Amino acid sequence: MKRLLLMRHAKSSWDDSNLPDHERPLKKKGKKDAERMGKLLKSKDFEPDLIISSTALRAKQTAEIVAESCKCKKEIIFLDSLYMAEPSDILHAIEKNAKDKKTIMVIGHNPGLEAFLQIANGKVETLPTASIAYLTTSVDSWSKLEKGENIKLKKLWRPKDLD
């Protein structure tokens, strides 16, 4: 059984309207939520073996904070293709990079993450900022993962649910 953690980046700042979208940093609340979600993963023993993240600053910061707070000493791969990715881009990133890892985390953006989750789950779920969807798959290799097949949503954690 393999585990897939889909996480939407934490809350970003809109304070500087001159910044390109790709360069927007996390807000203070976003940093706090990312840390809380990382600690949640640690408490559930769900530390990812690999984190694959968008190259957008808010996603990179989220990945780094989550990795630090869940004590994940594993590799983080940053991919331009995950910035505003479609479900097929997310699937490709998983298949190409996850190799033999058991638990992987993908950190990205909406609407692509919600669309991927909908395809996998068969129903609409919202992924507010810093939310994590925990999915499992019975495939023995990530390369055998097919869009919407062999993937089951087990749990959805939203920061507001932790209060």
Residue 66, pLDDT score: 96
Close Cβ partners of 20 (under 8 Å, ≥ 6 residues apart): none
Integer Cα distance of 85 and 49 in angstroms = 22
Closest CA to 81 of 97, 99, 65: 97
Look at residues 5, 8, 4, 48 and name the one whose alpha carbon lies nearest to residue 142: 4
Domains and CATH numbers, the chain: 2-162 (3.40.50.1240)
What is the maximal distance between C-alpha atoms in the chain? 46
Whats the size of the chain, residue-wise? 163
Helices (H), 1-159: 28-43, 57-69, 87-97, 112-121
pLDDT at 82: 97
Q: 140 versus 33: which is more confidently predicted?
A: 33
More confident residue, 120 or 130: 130
Phi-psi category of 130—alpha, beta or left, where left has phi over 0 and alpha has psi -120 to 50?
Answer: left
pLDDT, tens digit, for every residue of 52-111?
Answer: 999 999 999 999 999 999 987 778 999 999 999 999 999 999 999 998 899 999 999 999
Q: What predicted TM-score, i.e. pTM, was given to this entire model?
A: 0.95
Residue 80: per-residue pLDDT: 97
Q: What does the pLDDT average to over 135-143?
A: 88
pLDDT band for position 140 (50/70/90)? confident
